Structure 1
């Protein structure tokens, strides 16, 4: 997913979009991420959340709330971090030691989020990216994003549990990144089985539309979770994030209603794309995955209209399109119905 040959490219880089399309109208519509366009309506944190160090009791409450929501065996199975991005390298160190050198292998079910392979390589693993789930059995570290980013592929829970047991029997680990699981069936999670050679990553910002809050969780066996917490230190989660996270994770009514709303809006986006003769071949309710012979032309056409979608250098016929905000649907519809696209 590296378009430049340098740093890995991700969605959300509006400065880069402005350079690519300097004549595009403002404001930009950013559909290049899988972040909920309807942010959770949190209450303003108390002033003391900014002026005091975070309270350990509030962190304990946050972990208890997250454990209950995710189906973890106990709060002792959780580590909270400022986003999930930093958790994989810490997980690797907590399970395999400070270095993974010595012939250890990582296998990643691909194509998927590119940072996982990058982090495994930095830790010293020989990395194999594969579309064959059974190939992960030969690894010491296996990584599955479920549901997958960017195509929405879902691996059955029983298959993940079997893989976790297989790896655990030889001292390995299965990491399941469930960053987008909140938008589908919560029962598909394997967070309740982390004592069986599995660790789970759960993102906060995507489903709640609050990526800037920076909050994520690792669910793992208690000795692993304890080592993660020790690495992260006592104040890894800021006071305002604790306040917002506690409120949002406890709001089951909002969660249930938002899942319905996102499914409806994904269906609306599918219909809009179908009208533009662009087929949807995968995704989740937060983003749609497209395959089209003129995907590059569509990326350019939407960019000229000030609409950024996600492209993939290694799959030039594919795009990922997120959901618009309420006021952005008309501009997207106008761009997709344009004669310039259909010509």
Structure 2
């Protein structure tokens, strides 16, 4: 009788994804970049970002030596910017501690900023053929349905059970193919809604399929209502069609990205931005930006400003940003949206 892994590998040979960009030359560097980008993000969204990123930073050495602003600029739009900052730190760690070569032990890979156990397993399995389990969202969905495991997968007891299963089910050969196959199975057949059970190689033994309860697995995270925060963002625009931007601190939301001066009060301009205020104020249409843990309601206020190069352009914390986006810096997503709407509706 074919084993679990035999069935998965046979299915993968015919139906799996074999032409993703990071599968061509699956070096540890390329697999690492793809895995970090794929955290919280769909494959179809990641592909163009991956291609641009590898074009600009083809090696870990070039990524480590780059300015964080250039990294964040290429990341703009992908969200979860801590991933980019951690990637930059990890590249520098690899150059410093491992002479530019990726460590080959999963435990060492896990010490890299932004790399957890599953990502470390993916790098080891996909690029080095090391027998290390993967437990991303796709694999969790396959396993919870196959074994009918109740409980939210992030609960410690459920998570531990899934890791044990992921490890025990792994074959001793064809590690890279099996690891990719499990992710593909979850991404293409065992999808969150409307799974294609009749086409699944595991359908006969799958407990959820046998009892027609696929919709019950994996158990959902207990819902809680997201709180709402409100801020005012000030668009200080000068006669040269430039807007004053402020660099955010490295930690917290949009860390190290450029954003608009903001305040919880409609009159609370930061000290330096007060120097460039000319006069006219106009409230623009509010926008909502939703994070994983709260909604942020932004009320933009457009203010006519005078161009004051001294004390602004000399200070890395502030800069005048042209509305034609010709300056390449990392922008907070809602700020990019606001500035693009300004450029198209001056």
TM-score if structure 2 supplies the norm length?
0.28
**Higher RCO (C-alpha under 8 Å, 6+ residues apart):** 1
TM-score, length basis structure 1: 0.28
